[in-house]
Amino acid sequence: MKRINNSVLALSLFMGIAAINAQEKKQLTLDEAVQLGIQNSKSLKIDAAKIEEATADLLEAKNRQLPELKVSGSYMYLPLKPNVDLKLPGVSAAGGPEVHQVAYGSANLSVPIYSGGRIKYGIQSAKYLVEASKLSTENDKIAIAYNVAQAYNNLFKANQSIKVLEENLTASQKRDETFLKLENNGVIARNDRLKANLQTSNIELQLLEAKNNYNIANINMDLLLGLPETTEIEVDQNYIDEGSDVRTVDYYVNEAKENRKDLQALAQQRKAAELGTKSAKAENLPSIAFTGGYVAADIPKFLTIYNAVNVGVGISYNLSNIWKENSSLKQSQAREKQLAANDELLNDNIKLDVNREYQNTDYSKKRIAVYEKAAEQANENYRITKNKYDNGLATMTELLDADAAQIAANVGVINAKADAALAYRKLLQTTGTLTIK
């Protein structure tokens, strides 16, 4: 009795530990997974910081058009009596007052009037770069959406493979039990029963591999979505019905030209570079500003100044520009050429990407029909072979081969449908139209 109680206690303890370590299950649709992936993306956090940086640069450019007001002041104590020698006619420095402290302050105001367009170009260029940063972020969101879909697809395929293999393993184990009874009754040879056992072992190995692939895919999804690594994600297979209506390749090429965010971001960068060239040319022009100032000083027992106000117009021009080449202009023009070449290269790559993914999508859809036909043939072949074997007209090897072909064909149908849905999403990504709900 004591031994039974100990066994019950050990079993309870084991079940308690298993419950603690059990994975939390979370059911997610593909759209929900994409949303989580975007919310927890480290790349998008970097992009957000880049947008903040570009916005700060825009603020700095706008600040250049505002007045500059500088105020300064100073107080000095003079421990030694200074030597004062006044050169003013009729004024003698002898016996003058002792000066031990000096205080003075000033305020200077400068309001830009003309700078050759550098301020205006700088503001507009900064606006283009802010927009380019935002478009780059949108492009990264679309890429993340596809990466999550790809991981979701891998998890779905691994899970479906497990289901099919578990069903076939159960059927194979039942068959082994039947064959063992037949062997014991002398109906079949031991060698035939061992062949069936070997088939069961092979299915067990395939199931172990499928579960290992599932665990790896699940951890990858957890990391992508920002979930605890112990979370077991349950997928929704309804997403495999996407991509039933595929249009012509020209339609997707035009969609890419209109919607690709990286292409739009590059266009904004080119606009900013053009303004950078104009701003560099403006460096050879003078700057004009309205100026004003106020000065006050106090030297006790010697000098007091206040209400010393000045106003005027200041002109600034760097004469060294006459003999120095404008390096900023050459750098900006080189930048324009570089971006123009990048634009041509990106357009070529977009055409290639869209055509490639269109072909892959078409190929994936055709694979479904082939796999479905193969599955029908494999299932029918197994049914016929099983009937023939039951009537002594087929060997055990033929039966096991038919069973293995049936398993492979059924798994192939599921994988083909999942791959077709993913290929369609990849096509939408290359056109920049992959929706993020």
**Over the stretch 293-328, which tens digit does the pLDDT of each residue have?**
989 988 887 788 888 898 989 888 888 877 888 888
pLDDT at 261: 94
Neighbours of 340 (CB within 10 A): 13
Q: How many CA atoms lie within 13 A of 278 on its CB side?
A: 17
Query: Residue 173 sits in which domain range?
Result: 27-87+95-431
Measured CA to CA, the distance from residue 381 to residue 387 in angstroms comes to 10
Residue 214 lies in a domain: yes
pLDDT at 58: 92
Residue 9 lies in a domain: no
User: For residues 238 and 105, is the Cβ–Cβ distance under 8 A?
Assistant: no
Measured CA to CA, the distance from residue 276 to residue 318 in angstroms comes to 19
pLDDT at 343: 94
Residue 397 lies in a domain: yes
Q: Is 122 exposed, middle or buried (0-12, 13-18, 19+ CB in 10 A)?
A: buried
User: For residues 287 and 316, is the Cβ–Cβ distance under 8 A?
Assistant: yes
Residue 3 lies in a domain: no
pLDDT at 376: 94
Domain count, the chain: 1
Query: What's the pTM value of the predicted model, to 2 decimals?
Result: 0.79
Residue 14 lies in a domain: no
Residue 334 lies in a domain: yes
> What's the mean per-residue pLDDT of the chain?
86
CA 153 to chain centre: 19
Please list, in sequence order, all residues whose beta carbon lies within 8 angstroms of the beta carbon of residue 436, skipping any fewer than 6 positions away: 34, 35, 38, 141, 142, 145
Q: With a cut of 70, which residues of the chain have pLDDT below it?
A: 1-23, 84-88, 90-97, 242-244, 437
Residue 16 lies in a domain: no
Residue 268 lies in a domain: yes
Distances 117 to 113, 276, 360 between C-alpha atoms, Å: 10, 11, 51
Q: How many CA atoms lie within 13 A of 273 on its CB side?
A: 18
- Tens of pLDDT, residue by residue over 72-117, are 999 888 887 777 666 667 655 555 667 788 898 999 999 988 888 8
Q: Is 146 exposed, middle or buried (0-12, 13-18, 19+ CB in 10 A)?
A: middle
Classify strands 231-235 and 24-28 as parallel, antiparallel or unpaired.
Answer: parallel
Classify strands 287-299 and 303-316 as parallel, antiparallel or unpaired.
Answer: antiparallel
pLDDT at 322: 78
pLDDT at 183: 80
Query: Can you name the residues that pair with 25 across neighbouring β-strands?
Result: 232
CATH of the domain at 163: 1.20.1600.10
